[in-house]
Amino acid sequence: MHILIVSTYGFDPAFPSRPEQLQARALVRRGHTVVAHEYRDRRYAGQTLRHEWLPAGIAVHRAPTYGFFAPEALLRLYHADRPQIIHLHHLRSLLGFQTVLAARRMGIPTVLTVHGLLHDGDLVVDRERPLEAPLRYHNLLTTPGRLVRRLATGAHPRRTLRNYLIHAPLLWVDRVVALSYGERDLLARIGVHPLKISVLPNALDLEDVASQQAENIPSEVPTLLFIGQLVPRKGYDLLLRALPAVMKAVPTVRCICVSHNRADEAEFWRLAREGGVAERIELRGRVSEAEKMALLRSATVVVAPSRYEGFGIPLIEALLAGAPVVTTDVMAGNEVISHEQTGLLTPYGDVDALAVAIIRLLRDQPLAQRLAATGRQEVLERYDANRLAAELEQLYQRLIVARKTRQ
Protein backbone atom coordinates (compact mmCIF):
# COMPACT_ATOMS: atom_id res chain seq x y z
CA MET A 1 0.00 0.00 0.00
CA HIS A 2 0.95 3.63 -0.51
CA ILE A 3 0.13 5.37 2.78
CA LEU A 4 0.11 9.08 3.60
CA ILE A 5 0.47 10.04 7.27
CA VAL A 6 -0.55 13.62 8.08
CA SER A 7 0.73 15.04 11.36
CA THR A 8 1.47 18.31 13.12
CA TYR A 9 4.99 17.89 14.53
CA GLY A 10 5.21 14.10 14.69
CA PHE A 11 8.14 13.63 12.31
CA ASP A 12 10.69 15.82 14.04
CA PRO A 13 13.86 13.67 13.69
CA ALA A 14 14.94 14.64 17.20
CA PHE A 15 12.03 12.59 18.60
CA PRO A 16 12.12 9.22 16.80
CA SER A 17 9.85 7.57 19.40
CA ARG A 18 6.79 9.68 18.56
CA PRO A 19 3.80 7.50 17.61
CA GLU A 20 3.66 8.68 13.99
CA GLN A 21 7.28 7.75 13.37
CA LEU A 22 6.96 4.38 15.06
CA GLN A 23 3.85 3.66 13.01
CA ALA A 24 5.55 4.71 9.77
CA ARG A 25 8.69 2.63 10.36
CA ALA A 26 6.65 -0.44 11.30
CA LEU A 27 4.50 -0.12 8.16
CA VAL A 28 7.61 0.22 5.99
CA ARG A 29 9.00 -2.97 7.55
CA ARG A 30 5.82 -4.70 6.40
CA GLY A 31 6.52 -3.68 2.81
CA HIS A 32 4.41 -0.51 2.48
CA THR A 33 5.44 2.90 1.17
CA VAL A 34 4.91 5.73 3.65
CA VAL A 35 4.98 9.47 2.95
CA ALA A 36 4.40 12.10 5.66
CA HIS A 37 2.97 15.61 5.53
CA GLU A 38 3.31 18.04 8.42
CA TYR A 39 3.81 21.70 9.28
CA ARG A 40 6.83 23.72 8.28
CA ASP A 41 7.51 25.90 11.30
CA ARG A 42 10.70 27.95 11.39
CA ARG A 43 10.42 28.38 15.18
CA TYR A 44 11.44 24.75 15.71
CA ALA A 45 14.71 23.29 14.45
CA GLY A 46 13.14 19.96 13.52
CA GLN A 47 10.46 21.60 11.36
CA THR A 48 12.52 23.90 9.12
CA LEU A 49 13.41 21.57 6.23
CA ARG A 50 10.80 21.47 3.48
CA HIS A 51 11.73 17.93 2.39
CA GLU A 52 13.58 15.28 4.36
CA TRP A 53 14.23 11.56 4.32
CA LEU A 54 13.96 9.83 7.69
CA PRO A 55 15.26 6.33 8.53
CA ALA A 56 13.47 3.45 6.78
CA GLY A 57 13.05 5.58 3.68
CA ILE A 58 10.19 7.74 4.94
CA ALA A 59 9.77 10.90 2.87
CA VAL A 60 8.63 13.88 4.95
CA HIS A 61 7.23 16.99 3.26
CA ARG A 62 6.64 20.09 5.38
CA ALA A 63 4.40 22.89 4.17
CA PRO A 64 3.76 26.38 5.57
CA THR A 65 0.19 26.89 6.74
CA TYR A 66 -2.04 29.90 6.20
CA GLY A 67 -4.77 29.36 8.71
CA PHE A 68 -6.26 26.00 7.76
CA PHE A 69 -4.89 26.18 4.22
CA ALA A 70 -1.55 24.71 3.15
CA PRO A 71 -1.43 24.95 -0.66
CA GLU A 72 1.87 23.10 -1.03
CA ALA A 73 0.58 20.08 0.90
CA LEU A 74 -2.64 20.12 -1.10
CA LEU A 75 -0.79 20.18 -4.42
CA ARG A 76 1.40 17.28 -3.35
CA LEU A 77 -1.67 15.28 -2.36
CA TYR A 78 -3.37 15.86 -5.71
CA HIS A 79 -0.43 15.64 -8.09
CA ALA A 80 2.54 13.86 -6.45
CA ASP A 81 1.70 11.53 -3.58
CA ARG A 82 -1.85 10.27 -4.37
CA PRO A 83 -1.95 7.60 -1.64
CA GLN A 84 -4.30 4.65 -1.33
CA ILE A 85 -5.15 5.64 2.24
CA ILE A 86 -4.53 8.63 4.50
CA HIS A 87 -3.95 8.41 8.26
CA LEU A 88 -4.25 11.73 10.08
CA HIS A 89 -2.88 12.26 13.58
CA HIS A 90 -4.24 14.88 16.02
CA LEU A 91 -7.69 16.39 15.86
CA ARG A 92 -6.60 20.01 16.26
CA SER A 93 -4.51 20.10 13.10
CA LEU A 94 -4.33 22.90 10.54
CA LEU A 95 -3.89 20.27 7.82
CA GLY A 96 -6.88 18.16 8.79
CA PHE A 97 -9.81 19.92 7.15
CA GLN A 98 -8.27 20.41 3.70
CA THR A 99 -6.80 16.89 3.68
CA VAL A 100 -10.06 15.14 4.53
CA LEU A 101 -12.06 17.32 2.14
CA ALA A 102 -9.64 16.57 -0.70
CA ALA A 103 -9.56 12.87 0.14
CA ARG A 104 -13.36 12.64 -0.08
CA ARG A 105 -13.28 14.21 -3.54
CA MET A 106 -10.47 11.90 -4.65
CA GLY A 107 -12.13 8.77 -3.26
CA ILE A 108 -9.33 8.05 -0.78
CA PRO A 109 -10.36 6.54 2.58
CA THR A 110 -9.19 8.35 5.70
CA VAL A 111 -8.36 7.41 9.29
CA LEU A 112 -7.99 9.88 12.17
CA THR A 113 -6.21 9.21 15.47
CA VAL A 114 -7.38 11.92 17.87
CA HIS A 115 -4.57 11.86 20.52
CA GLY A 116 -5.93 13.24 23.78
CA LEU A 117 -9.52 14.32 23.24
CA LEU A 118 -9.65 16.11 26.57
CA HIS A 119 -6.89 18.48 25.48
CA ASP A 120 -9.54 20.13 23.31
CA GLY A 121 -10.32 23.58 24.68
CA ASP A 122 -13.66 23.65 22.86
CA LEU A 123 -14.77 20.51 24.70
CA VAL A 124 -13.37 21.09 28.21
CA VAL A 125 -13.65 24.06 30.54
CA ASP A 126 -10.07 23.68 31.84
CA ARG A 127 -7.50 21.74 29.82
CA GLU A 128 -5.38 21.20 32.93
CA ARG A 129 -8.29 19.81 34.98
CA PRO A 130 -10.66 18.54 32.27
CA LEU A 131 -12.53 16.10 34.52
CA GLU A 132 -13.53 18.67 37.13
CA ALA A 133 -16.34 20.25 35.09
CA PRO A 134 -19.00 18.83 32.73
CA LEU A 135 -17.77 18.33 29.19
CA ARG A 136 -19.26 20.70 26.59
CA TYR A 137 -20.34 18.24 23.92
CA HIS A 138 -22.82 20.79 22.57
CA ASN A 139 -20.01 23.26 21.91
CA LEU A 140 -18.32 21.22 19.17
CA LEU A 141 -19.35 22.30 15.67
CA THR A 142 -19.29 19.20 13.49
CA THR A 143 -21.89 20.07 10.81
CA PRO A 144 -22.63 23.09 8.58
CA GLY A 145 -26.01 23.44 10.29
CA ARG A 146 -24.41 23.82 13.71
CA LEU A 147 -21.96 26.32 12.27
CA VAL A 148 -24.73 28.49 10.78
CA ARG A 149 -26.83 28.37 13.93
CA ARG A 150 -23.87 29.36 16.10
CA LEU A 151 -23.00 32.27 13.81
CA ALA A 152 -26.66 33.38 13.86
CA THR A 153 -26.43 33.82 17.64
CA GLY A 154 -23.72 36.46 17.17
CA ALA A 155 -20.81 34.22 18.20
CA HIS A 156 -17.30 35.41 17.34
CA PRO A 157 -16.95 34.51 13.61
CA ARG A 158 -13.28 33.56 13.59
CA ARG A 159 -13.43 31.37 16.71
CA THR A 160 -16.66 29.78 15.50
CA LEU A 161 -15.25 28.95 12.07
CA ARG A 162 -12.08 27.55 13.66
CA ASN A 163 -14.22 25.31 15.87
CA TYR A 164 -15.97 23.93 12.78
CA LEU A 165 -12.80 23.44 10.74
CA ILE A 166 -11.24 21.46 13.59
CA HIS A 167 -14.20 19.22 14.40
CA ALA A 168 -16.00 18.62 11.09
CA PRO A 169 -13.46 15.96 10.02
CA LEU A 170 -14.61 13.78 12.93
CA LEU A 171 -17.77 12.98 11.00
CA TRP A 172 -16.14 12.90 7.55
CA VAL A 173 -13.35 10.37 8.02
CA ASP A 174 -13.96 6.70 7.38
CA ARG A 175 -12.58 5.63 10.76
CA VAL A 176 -11.68 7.36 14.01
CA VAL A 177 -9.06 5.66 16.16
CA ALA A 178 -9.43 6.07 19.91
CA LEU A 179 -6.42 5.37 22.11
CA SER A 180 -8.57 4.06 24.96
CA TYR A 181 -12.07 2.75 25.57
CA GLY A 182 -12.79 5.84 27.63
CA GLU A 183 -11.93 7.99 24.63
CA ARG A 184 -14.12 5.79 22.43
CA ASP A 185 -17.11 6.51 24.66
CA LEU A 186 -16.44 10.26 24.52
CA LEU A 187 -16.25 10.18 20.73
CA ALA A 188 -19.62 8.44 20.59
CA ARG A 189 -21.09 11.14 22.84
CA ILE A 190 -19.79 13.77 20.41
CA GLY A 191 -21.65 12.12 17.56
CA VAL A 192 -19.17 9.76 15.89
CA HIS A 193 -21.00 6.57 14.95
CA PRO A 194 -19.79 3.73 17.22
CA LEU A 195 -19.20 1.47 14.21
CA LYS A 196 -16.74 4.04 12.82
CA ILE A 197 -14.57 3.96 15.98
CA SER A 198 -11.67 1.56 16.50
CA VAL A 199 -9.69 1.30 19.73
CA LEU A 200 -5.98 0.93 19.01
CA PRO A 201 -3.23 2.04 21.40
CA ASN A 202 -0.14 3.97 20.49
CA ALA A 203 2.87 1.78 19.91
CA LEU A 204 6.30 1.61 21.47
CA ASP A 205 9.48 0.44 19.79
CA LEU A 206 10.14 -2.73 21.76
CA GLU A 207 12.55 -4.46 19.39
CA ASP A 208 15.62 -3.77 21.52
CA VAL A 209 14.05 -4.94 24.77
CA ALA A 210 11.58 -7.66 23.85
CA SER A 211 14.14 -10.43 24.39
CA GLN A 212 15.76 -8.88 27.46
CA GLN A 213 14.93 -9.38 31.09
CA ALA A 214 13.71 -6.42 33.10
CA GLU A 215 16.69 -4.46 34.33
CA ASN A 216 15.10 -2.47 37.14
CA ILE A 217 17.78 -2.25 39.82
CA PRO A 218 16.58 0.17 42.50
CA SER A 219 19.24 2.46 43.87
CA GLU A 220 20.49 1.90 47.41
CA VAL A 221 18.63 5.04 48.49
CA PRO A 222 14.84 4.60 48.01
CA THR A 223 13.96 6.83 45.08
CA LEU A 224 10.67 8.19 43.80
CA LEU A 225 10.65 9.28 40.17
CA PHE A 226 8.25 11.73 38.55
CA ILE A 227 8.56 12.42 34.81
CA GLY A 228 6.20 15.00 33.38
CA GLN A 229 5.47 18.63 32.70
CA LEU A 230 5.14 20.96 35.66
CA VAL A 231 1.51 21.69 34.89
CA PRO A 232 -1.57 20.80 36.95
CA ARG A 233 -2.68 18.09 34.50
CA LYS A 234 0.35 15.97 35.44
CA GLY A 235 -0.40 16.29 39.17
CA TYR A 236 3.05 17.38 40.33
CA ASP A 237 1.31 19.36 43.10
CA LEU A 238 -0.41 16.23 44.40
CA LEU A 239 2.94 14.47 44.66
CA LEU A 240 4.52 17.38 46.52
CA ARG A 241 1.62 17.45 48.99
CA ALA A 242 1.98 13.70 49.55
CA LEU A 243 5.76 13.79 50.08
CA PRO A 244 5.77 14.98 53.71
CA ALA A 245 3.82 11.87 54.79
CA VAL A 246 5.94 9.62 52.59
CA MET A 247 9.21 11.02 53.92
CA LYS A 248 8.00 10.76 57.48
CA ALA A 249 7.19 7.08 56.96
CA VAL A 250 10.37 6.31 54.99
CA PRO A 251 12.96 8.86 56.19
CA THR A 252 15.65 7.82 53.69
CA VAL A 253 13.55 8.35 50.56
CA ARG A 254 14.47 10.97 47.97
CA CYS A 255 12.52 12.26 44.95
CA ILE A 256 13.76 12.99 41.42
CA CYS A 257 11.50 15.05 39.15
CA VAL A 258 12.22 15.33 35.43
CA SER A 259 10.44 17.95 33.33
CA HIS A 260 11.11 19.63 30.01
CA ASN A 261 8.24 22.07 30.63
CA ARG A 262 8.83 23.89 33.92
CA ALA A 263 5.95 26.34 33.59
CA ASP A 264 4.97 26.00 37.26
CA GLU A 265 8.48 25.78 38.70
CA ALA A 266 7.90 28.64 41.15
CA GLU A 267 4.80 26.90 42.51
CA PHE A 268 6.68 23.59 42.54
CA TRP A 269 9.35 24.94 44.89
CA ARG A 270 6.80 26.86 46.99
CA LEU A 271 4.93 23.63 47.71
CA ALA A 272 8.20 21.78 48.38
CA ARG A 273 9.33 24.41 50.89
CA GLU A 274 5.90 24.57 52.48
CA GLY A 275 6.00 20.80 53.05
CA GLY A 276 9.56 20.88 54.34
CA VAL A 277 10.78 18.49 51.61
CA ALA A 278 12.66 20.81 49.24
CA GLU A 279 16.10 19.54 50.31
CA ARG A 280 15.12 15.96 49.40
CA ILE A 281 13.99 16.78 45.87
CA GLU A 282 16.09 16.98 42.73
CA LEU A 283 14.54 18.76 39.73
CA ARG A 284 16.06 18.02 36.33
CA GLY A 285 15.30 19.42 32.88
CA ARG A 286 15.12 17.56 29.58
CA VAL A 287 17.01 14.25 29.53
CA SER A 288 17.93 11.96 26.66
CA GLU A 289 16.02 8.73 25.99
CA ALA A 290 18.94 6.74 27.39
CA GLU A 291 19.07 8.89 30.55
CA LYS A 292 15.31 8.56 30.99
CA MET A 293 15.42 4.77 30.78
CA ALA A 294 18.34 4.68 33.23
CA LEU A 295 16.32 6.73 35.70
CA LEU A 296 13.29 4.47 35.26
CA ARG A 297 15.39 1.34 35.80
CA SER A 298 16.86 2.72 39.02
CA ALA A 299 13.60 4.08 40.47
CA THR A 300 12.11 2.36 43.50
CA VAL A 301 8.66 3.72 42.60
CA VAL A 302 7.49 5.74 39.60
CA VAL A 303 4.73 8.18 40.56
CA ALA A 304 2.36 9.61 37.95
CA PRO A 305 -0.53 11.33 39.79
CA SER A 306 -2.09 12.69 36.58
CA ARG A 307 -5.45 14.42 36.46
CA TYR A 308 -5.80 13.18 32.87
CA GLU A 309 -3.76 11.10 30.44
CA GLY A 310 -4.46 11.09 26.73
CA PHE A 311 -2.83 7.67 26.46
CA GLY A 312 -0.24 7.07 29.16
CA ILE A 313 3.11 6.58 27.42
CA PRO A 314 5.05 7.51 30.61
CA LEU A 315 3.27 4.66 32.43
CA ILE A 316 4.11 2.19 29.68
CA GLU A 317 7.74 3.28 29.62
CA ALA A 318 7.96 2.78 33.37
CA LEU A 319 6.53 -0.73 33.12
CA LEU A 320 8.86 -1.50 30.24
CA ALA A 321 11.80 -0.55 32.45
CA GLY A 322 10.55 -2.89 35.16
CA ALA A 323 9.58 -0.13 37.60
CA PRO A 324 6.55 -0.32 39.92
CA VAL A 325 3.97 2.41 39.22
CA VAL A 326 1.48 4.46 41.23
CA THR A 327 -0.97 6.50 39.17
CA THR A 328 -4.47 7.97 39.22
CA ASP A 329 -7.65 6.05 38.50
CA VAL A 330 -8.63 8.16 35.47
CA MET A 331 -9.33 7.54 31.79
CA ALA A 332 -6.46 5.97 29.84
CA GLY A 333 -4.27 5.57 32.92
CA ASN A 334 -6.64 2.97 34.37
CA GLU A 335 -6.49 1.04 31.08
CA VAL A 336 -2.70 0.87 31.12
CA ILE A 337 -2.52 0.04 34.84
CA SER A 338 -4.71 -2.65 36.41
CA HIS A 339 -5.00 -2.05 40.15
CA GLU A 340 -3.11 -4.62 42.24
CA GLN A 341 -2.06 -6.45 39.06
CA THR A 342 0.31 -4.17 37.13
CA GLY A 343 0.46 -1.21 39.53
CA LEU A 344 -1.54 0.76 42.07
CA LEU A 345 -4.37 3.19 41.27
CA THR A 346 -5.41 5.98 43.61
CA PRO A 347 -8.63 8.07 43.59
CA TYR A 348 -8.63 11.34 41.69
CA GLY A 349 -6.97 14.16 43.63
CA ASP A 350 -6.65 12.11 46.84
CA VAL A 351 -3.32 13.15 48.36
CA ASP A 352 -3.65 10.87 51.40
CA ALA A 353 -4.37 7.81 49.24
CA LEU A 354 -1.43 8.70 47.01
CA ALA A 355 0.91 8.82 50.01
CA VAL A 356 -0.41 5.49 51.31
CA ALA A 357 0.13 3.78 47.94
CA ILE A 358 3.70 5.12 47.61
CA ILE A 359 4.58 4.06 51.15
CA ARG A 360 3.12 0.63 50.52
CA LEU A 361 5.39 0.00 47.54
CA LEU A 362 8.43 1.45 49.28
CA ARG A 363 7.93 -0.93 52.21
CA ASP A 364 6.76 -4.03 50.32
CA GLN A 365 9.44 -4.84 47.77
CA PRO A 366 8.02 -8.28 46.86
CA LEU A 367 4.72 -6.60 45.95
CA ALA A 368 6.52 -3.90 43.97
CA GLN A 369 8.55 -6.49 42.06
CA ARG A 370 5.47 -8.61 41.30
CA LEU A 371 3.50 -5.66 39.95
CA ALA A 372 6.43 -4.47 37.86
CA ALA A 373 7.11 -7.92 36.36
CA THR A 374 3.46 -8.45 35.44
CA GLY A 375 3.22 -4.96 34.01
CA ARG A 376 6.32 -5.36 31.86
CA GLN A 377 5.02 -8.60 30.37
CA GLU A 378 1.71 -6.94 29.53
CA VAL A 379 3.49 -4.04 27.82
CA LEU A 380 5.49 -6.42 25.65
CA GLU A 381 2.29 -8.18 24.61
CA ARG A 382 0.06 -5.15 24.00
CA TYR A 383 2.11 -2.24 22.68
CA ASP A 384 4.59 -3.56 20.15
CA ALA A 385 4.80 -1.36 17.03
CA ASN A 386 4.82 -4.36 14.68
CA ARG A 387 1.63 -5.70 16.21
CA LEU A 388 -0.05 -2.31 15.85
CA ALA A 389 1.12 -2.08 12.23
CA ALA A 390 -0.45 -5.45 11.45
CA GLU A 391 -3.77 -4.30 12.93
CA LEU A 392 -3.60 -1.02 11.02
CA GLU A 393 -2.80 -2.87 7.82
CA GLN A 394 -5.96 -4.95 8.19
CA LEU A 395 -8.00 -1.83 8.94
CA TYR A 396 -6.59 -0.02 5.91
CA GLN A 397 -7.35 -2.97 3.61
CA ARG A 398 -10.95 -3.15 4.81
CA LEU A 399 -11.47 0.57 4.24
CA ILE A 400 -9.91 0.49 0.76
CA VAL A 401 -12.10 -2.44 -0.27
CA ALA A 402 -15.19 -0.76 1.19
CA ARG A 403 -14.46 2.47 -0.71
CA LYS A 404 -13.97 0.60 -4.00
CA THR A 405 -17.25 -1.23 -3.43
CA ARG A 406 -19.11 2.07 -3.01
CA GLN A 407 -17.57 3.66 -6.12
Q: What is the pLDDT of residues 31-75, one digit of tens each?
A: 999 999 999 998 888 899 999 999 999 999 999 999 999 999 999
Q: Are residues 161 and 258 in the same domain?
A: no
Q: Quick one: pLDDT band at residue 213, thresholds 50, 70, 90?
A: very low
Q: Are residues 272 and 184 in the same domain?
A: no
Please give the pLDDT value at position 288. Answer: 85
Kindly state the percentage of the chain with pLDDT values over 90.
Answer: 79
| CATH code where residue 330 lies | 3.40.50.2000
Residue 209 falls inside a structural domain: no
- pLDDT surpassing 70 at residue 185: yes
Residue 166: helix, strand or coil by DSSP?
Answer: helix
Q: Are residues 368 and 400 in the same domain?
A: no
Average pLDDT over the chain, rounded to whole?
Answer: 92
Q: Quick one: pLDDT band at residue 337, thresholds 50, 70, 90?
A: very high
Q: Say how far apart CA 4 and CA 310 lie, in whole Å.
A: 24
Residues 110-138 pLDDT 10s: 999 999 899 999 999 999 999 999 999 99
Residues 291-324 pLDDT 10s: 988 999 999 999 999 999 888 888 998 998 999 9
Q: Quick one: pLDDT band at residue 215, thresholds 50, 70, 90?
A: low
Please give the pLDDT value at position 160. Answer: 96
Please give the pLDDT value at position 407. Answer: 64
Q: Are residues 139 and 233 in the same domain?
A: no
Please give the pLDDT value at position 329. Answer: 95
Cβ–Cβ under 8 Å, residues 21 and 10? yes
Residue 207: helix, strand or coil by DSSP?
Answer: coil
For 49, 131, 184, 216, the CA distances from 176, given in Å and listed in that order, are 30, 22, 9, 37
Q: Quick one: pLDDT band at residue 210, thresholds 50, 70, 90?
A: very low
Its domain, for residue 313, covers 223-382
Full-model pTM: 0.89
- pLDDT surpassing 80 at residue 154: yes
- pLDDT surpassing 90 at residue 218: no
Q: Are residues 352 and 396 in the same domain?
A: no
Residue 113 falls inside a structural domain: yes
Considering its fold, how many domains does the chain have in total?
2
Q: Residue type at 19? A: P
- pLDDT surpassing 60 at residue 214: no
Q: Are residues 9 and 158 in the same domain?
A: yes
Cβ–Cβ under 8 Å, residues 198 and 175? yes
Please give the pLDDT value at position 404. Answer: 81
Residue 63 falls inside a structural domain: yes
